[in-house]
Structure 1
Amino acid sequence: MSLHPDFLRLPIAHRGLHSAGVPENSLAAFTAAIEAGYGIELDIQPAADGTPMVFHDYDLLRMSDDEGYITDMDLDDLAEIRLADTEETIPTLADTLRLVAGRVPLLIEIKDQDGRLGTSIGEVHNQVASLLEAYEGPVAVMSFNPNTVEAFGKAAPDIARGLTTAAFSKDDWPMLDDETREKLSRIEDFGRAGVSFISHHQVDLANEAVTDLKSKGVPVLTWTVRSAAEEAEARKVADGITFEDYRP
């Protein structure tokens, strides 16, 4: 399934259009993005029962006063969590789909459940696939873990899927061995994972693997652009941007 052209036409708000008083990955941030006419990027972590929750981190501490892990908590407990000292709560993916309702493109990143971008990927990709069966509107799913993307493709072959990619430096990815980091940085799993696009770190767009894919007509998105100057540089290679901290 190819990437909908709206992902290239519209800038994509990273974790929604968040700002002071409007937390990332919240329904308020998604509403703000829709009202501004931007696409939305969001992250998925599973709750204890496997329900796809819209949340970036593995633990809750950065976004709340709770020191727990999201995968250890049930829906009732998660409903009590308040994000960044606001009244916003952690939305489910189902809540988010009802809110967005196809009005803007929705880029869904399933966070790695393995810890080493390996094969222990859990079941959350199947839950995401199930929820998207009846969704109408531009949507795409991606992950840093090629195994997650490949498995999602088997569960939902008609939904566009991509790889989230980067240079995979040792400083940023200390849990990976050198061989794995080098393989991922060369995007060698592009064919195996059956993807139609990549979303690559904006500081590494000169990567030969990126330019090779672009020369073959593969759409290249980039993350995370944080200024007009960064955007101008990124667009020399990237077809679409994921942004925050400014408005394109």
Structure 2
Amino acid sequence: MTPRLPAAFLGAPLAHRALHDVTDGRPENSRAAIRAAIKHGYGIEIDVQLSADNQAMVFHDYALDRLAHGTGPVRVVPAGTLSETPLKGGDEGIPILTEVLTLVAGQVPLLIEIKDQDGAMGDAIGPLEQATADALQGYAGPVALMSFNPHSVARMGELCPDIPRGIVTSSYKAADWPLNDETRDHLRTIPDFDRVGASFISHEITDLDRPRVADLKAKGANILCWTVKSPEQEAQARQVAQNITFEGYLAPHPG
């Protein structure tokens, strides 16, 4: 049976890359941003990338340059070095997923996005999925997994069959995605939802009126969305989405 999202994921809004704000010393996906999200009672969305020694690192980009005081690909650097590589706008290094799981400790829902390691949404995956599954062994809090790459979602179903999984979905505009036309056209229609055992999608906010989204919702899929950046956007998104991933403001709690 396909595992469903716990009710907690449809309640408190989800802080995108945790409750980050570099003006307050809280970089994206940092421990400080995670602590702030917990303090405010928000769910948390984080990203994981792979280190050179096959550890799941909580970090969004494929390269260090934008977010950390380093340069080059994350995946060629060992976890210990990444942990000591300071995040820009904060006073800490890049966290390992196991550290974040210990920090969150089931206090709020945790949504983990596994970044595509194939480079073209293909099936050259595996080590990051395994590292994520290893880190999650024994974790008892509300947690869910998702990826843009359906192959990754399917692999997590094999490794963590009891953890809810979903697909991050998009309009896949050519200007935003350096993929070939065939791949973008395929992913845009979300054809892999049932095949990978997904129970939810997290869809691009500007594309929520897509008929396929309405079709999945009508069939019982949970609909999340990314990324809401204002109360006005939130009001629009909630006409379709059951919960939001947000940044840049303090989203109100429902009820």
TM-score by structure 1 length?
A: 0.98
Candidates 117, 137, 143, aligned match of 1:139:
143
SS of 2:225's equivalent in the other structure is strand
Aligned twin of 1:55: 59
Q: How does 1:21-170 map to 2 (within 5 A)?
A: 21-170=25-174
Deviation at 1:86, TM superposition (A): 2.3
Partner of residue 241, structure 1: 244
Listed one character per residue, the Cα deviations across residues 48-68 of structure 1 (whole Å, up to 9, x for unaligned) are 011000000011000123112
Asked if the contact 1:53/1:90 (under 8 Å) is kept, the reply is yes
Which 5+ residue runs of structure 2 have no aligned equivalent?
none
1:1-53 per-position Cα deviation (integer Å, ceiling 9, x unaligned)? 10011111110000010112111100110000000000000000011011000
Residue aligning to 2:15: 13
Task: Tell me the C-alpha RMSD between the 2 structures.
Answer: 0.9
Secondary structure of the corresponding residue to residue 61 of structure 1: coil
- Distance in 2 (alpha carbons) for counterparts of 1:244 and 1:86: 18
AA aligned opposite 1:91: P
SS in 2 for 1:230: helix
Q: Residues 132-160 of structure 1: CA distance to partner in whole angstroms, max 9, x if unpaired?
A: 12001110000000000001100110000
Measured after TM superposition, the shift of residue 85 of structure 1 is 4.0
Tell me whether 40-49 or 63-72 shows the greater mean CA deviation: 63-72
Report the Cα distance in structure 1 between the residues aligned to 2:127 and 2:90, rounded to whole angstroms: 31
Question: Residue in 2 aligned with 1:194?
Answer: 197
SS in 2 for 1:2: coil
Post-superposition offset of 1:76? 2.6
TM-score (norm 2): 0.95
What letter is aligned with 1:182?
Answer: D
What is the letter of the counterpart of residue 203 of structure 1?
T
What is the identity percentage for the equivalent residue pairs of Structure 1 and Structure 2?
Answer: 51
Aligned match of 1:184 in 169, 184, 187? 187
4+ residue stretches of structure 1 with deviation over 6 A? none
**When the two structures are aligned, how many residues end up with a matched partner?**
247
1:219 equivalent to 2:231? Answer: no
Tell me how far apart the structure 1 counterparts of residues 77 and 156 of structure 2 sit (CA, whole Å). Answer: 24
User: What is the CA–CA distance in structure 1 between the aligned matches of 2:117 and 2:211, rounded to whole Å?
Assistant: 28
Tell me how far apart the structure 2 counterparts of residues 130 and 65 of structure 1 sit (CA, whole Å): 28
